[in-house]
């Protein structure tokens, strides 16, 4: 990873995580979750990150390439949100609590091989330095020194490769040189390294609510875990170890993902990926999309229907026999009367 080119980066529009102020806090061990509220585009922060010319000052031994700077926030100071944020930080600082930063990847954490990705770190306090860590390492992978009052830092990977996959975290130093806790881990995955697997549904892609369906993902090119994703959902992908099976005389890896019971929320378009056995974060190309349709009720069982038709037919036969017998009896009675 040391050979990565960390260059200038630009931010795509992204909602800012709003802050929730708690009127009373009694315990010092306050979770950073209180700072993570519902995201809203109304308080969006936009900016352009570009190299800052001239000398720089970092905590590292050398000046990092592509030092980033953001334009000032578009949110006007003095607004209610700004005052609430300030008051929240006063309470937290009084408890000597330094919130951990928030980390995300743009355009996402599943990146095609050779494409660029930007790792963004957002702090809730003004920072004197931003640090990026990989795979739980003790030494920072890269450091950014802000040139203004921005509380964001960007780290650009210009061309994604398998060596860039892994878990990333960021932390920051406050203006009082206090180091924050690290952010939650962000997993980066590279895709497109192997041919696409096949994805199918058994017994059918149309399933009744409450029923069950199995999604089979198979490949002849990978032997590591398989990964199943549903398009348009933010749920994490499902993972399953591969099993070697013989199909048409050829060995292939396969994983079967069971949806049992099926709910209406399971309806949608699915894709699966194969991965390397040595690095499960190196994925194949995506499978062809598979659409699962969930119906409201179970289809009628044909056996009871056929049974009902049989009973009805038997009743008609018996009725016809009785009718014929009645006519025969009436005819005999009339013949007897004439004689």
93 has a pLDDT exceeding 70? no
Is 202 inside a domain boundary?
yes
Both structure tokens of 101 = 């930063």
- Quick one: 124 and 208 in the same domain? no
- Quick one: 71 and 185 in the same domain? yes
Contact call for residues 165 and 130 (beta carbons, < 8 A): no
3-state helix, strand, coil in the chain (%, to 5): 20, 35, 50
Q: Which of 171, 191, 211 is the last residue of a domain?
A: 191
> How crowded is residue 67: how many other Cβ atoms within 10 Å of its Cβ?
22
177 has a pLDDT exceeding 60? yes
Give residue 331's pLDDT band: very low, low, confident or very high (50, 70, 90).
Answer: low
Provide the 3-class DSSP secondary structure of residue 122.
strand
What is d(CA 82, CA 88) in angstroms, rounded to the nearest whole number?
10
- Quick one: 93 and 234 in the same domain? no
Is 37 inside a domain boundary?
yes
- Quick one: 175 and 281 in the same domain? no
- Quick one: 70 and 55 in the same domain? yes
Contacts of 299 (CB under 8 A, 6+ apart): 208
DSSP labels, 191-242: E-SS---EEEEES-SEEETT--EEEEEEESS--S-EEEEETT--SPPEEE--
Contact call for residues 155 and 132 (beta carbons, < 8 A): yes
In this prediction, residue 339 carries a pLDDT of 58
Q: Which of 160, 176, 191 is the last residue of a domain?
A: 191
Both structure tokens of 208 = 């009744």
In this prediction, residue 4 carries a pLDDT of 58
> How crowded is residue 6: how many other Cβ atoms within 10 Å of its Cβ?
20
Share of the chain above pLDDT 90, in %: 48
The whole-model pTM stands at 0.63
Is 158 inside a domain boundary?
yes
Q: Which domain holds residue 265?
A: 198-295
167 has a pLDDT exceeding 80? yes
Is 337 inside a domain boundary?
no
> How crowded is residue 92: how many other Cβ atoms within 10 Å of its Cβ?
21
Both structure tokens of 129 = 């330095």
Is 317 inside a domain boundary?
no
Least confident of 9-18, 147-156, 158-167, 185-194: 9-18
Mean pLDDT over 51-61 rounds to: 32
In this prediction, residue 316 carries a pLDDT of 76
- Quick one: 42 and 115 in the same domain? yes
> How crowded is residue 247: how many other Cβ atoms within 10 Å of its Cβ?
10
- Quick one: 204 and 172 in the same domain? no
Write b or e for each residue in 111-128: b if 16 or more Cβ atoms lie within 10 A of its Cβ, otherwise e: bebeeebbbbbbbbbebe
In this prediction, residue 57 carries a pLDDT of 30
Q: How many domains does the chain have?
A: 2
Provide the 3-class DSSP secondary structure of residue 32.
helix
- Quick one: 155 and 210 in the same domain? no
309 has a pLDDT exceeding 50? yes
Q: Which of 191, 213, 248 is the last residue of a domain?
A: 191
Give residue 308's pLDDT band: very low, low, confident or very high (50, 70, 90).
Answer: low
In this prediction, residue 164 carries a pLDDT of 97
Burial class of 44 by CB neighbour count within 10 A (0 to 12, 13 to 18, 19+): middle
- More confident call, 273 vs 38: 273
Is 62 inside a domain boundary?
yes
Is 311 inside a domain boundary?
no
- Quick one: 103 and 152 in the same domain? yes
Both structure tokens of 103 = 């980390």
Find the CATH number of the domain harbouring 289.
2.60.40.10
In this prediction, residue 250 carries a pLDDT of 84
169 has a pLDDT exceeding 90? yes
- Quick one: 117 and 70 in the same domain? yes
| End-to-end CA gap in the chain | 118
Give residue 207's pLDDT band: very low, low, confident or very high (50, 70, 90).
Answer: very high
183 has a pLDDT exceeding 50? yes
Least confident of 46-60, 101-115, 319-333: 46-60
- Quick one: 146 and 70 in the same domain? yes
Mean pLDDT over 23-30 rounds to: 31
Give residue 9's pLDDT band: very low, low, confident or very high (50, 70, 90).
Answer: low
- Quick one: 253 and 167 in the same domain? no
In this prediction, residue 24 carries a pLDDT of 29
In this prediction, residue 162 carries a pLDDT of 97
> How crowded is residue 291: how many other Cβ atoms within 10 Å of its Cβ?
12
62 has a pLDDT exceeding 90? no
> How crowded is residue 295: how many other Cβ atoms within 10 Å of its Cβ?
14
8 has a pLDDT exceeding 60? yes
Provide the 3-class DSSP secondary structure of residue 311.
helix
Is 335 inside a domain boundary?
no
DSSP labels, 145-185: --SSS--EEEEEESS--GGG-EEEEEEEEETT-PBPPPPPP
What are the tens digits of pLDDT across the range 257-295?
Answer: 999 899 999 999 999 999 999 999 999 999 999 999 999
Share of the chain above pLDDT 70, in %: 61
């Amino acid at each position: 990873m040391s050979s990565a080119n960390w260059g200038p980066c630009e931010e795509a529009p992204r909602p800012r995580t709003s802050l929730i102020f708690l009127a009373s806090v009694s315990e010092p061990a306050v979770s950073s979750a209180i700072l993570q509220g519902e995201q809203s585009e109304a308080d969006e922060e936009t900016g352009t990150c570009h190299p800052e010319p001239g000398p720089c000052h970092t905590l590292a031994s050398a000046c990092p390439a592509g030092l980033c700077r953001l334009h000032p926030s578009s949110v006007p100071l003095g607004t209610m949100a700004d005052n609430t944020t300030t008051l929240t930080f006063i309470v937290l600082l009084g408890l000597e609590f330094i919130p951990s930063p928030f980390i995300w990847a743009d355009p996402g954490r599943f990146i095609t091989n050779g494409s660029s990705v930007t790792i963004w770190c957002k702090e809730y306090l003004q920072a004197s330095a931003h640090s990026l860590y990989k795979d739980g390492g003790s030494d920072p992978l890269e450091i950014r020194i802000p040139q203004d009052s921005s509380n964001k830092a960007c780290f650009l990977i210009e061309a994604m490769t398998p060596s860039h996959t892994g878990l990333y975290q960021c932390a920051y130093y406050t203006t009082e040189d206090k180091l924050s806790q690290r952010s939650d881990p962000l997993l980066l995955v590279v895709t497109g390294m192997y041919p696409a697997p096949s994805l199918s549904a058994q017994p059918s892609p149309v399933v009744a609510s409450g029923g069950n369906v199995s999604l089979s993902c198979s490949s002849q090119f990978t032997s590591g875990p398989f990964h199943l994703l549903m398009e348009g959902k933010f749920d994490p992908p499902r993972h399953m170890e591969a099993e070697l099976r013989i199909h048409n005389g050829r060995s292939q890896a396969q994983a079967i993902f069971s949806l049992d019971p099926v709910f209406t929320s399971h309806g949608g378009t699915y894709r699966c990926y194969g991965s390397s056995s040595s690095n499960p974060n190196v994925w194949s190309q995506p499978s062809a999309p598979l659409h699962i349709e969930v119906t409201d009720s179970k289809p009628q069982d044909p056996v009871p229907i056929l049974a009902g038709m049989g009973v009805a037919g038997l009743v008609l036969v018996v009725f016809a026999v009785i009718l014929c017998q009645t006519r025969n009896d009436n005819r005999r009675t009339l013949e007897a009367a004439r004689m």
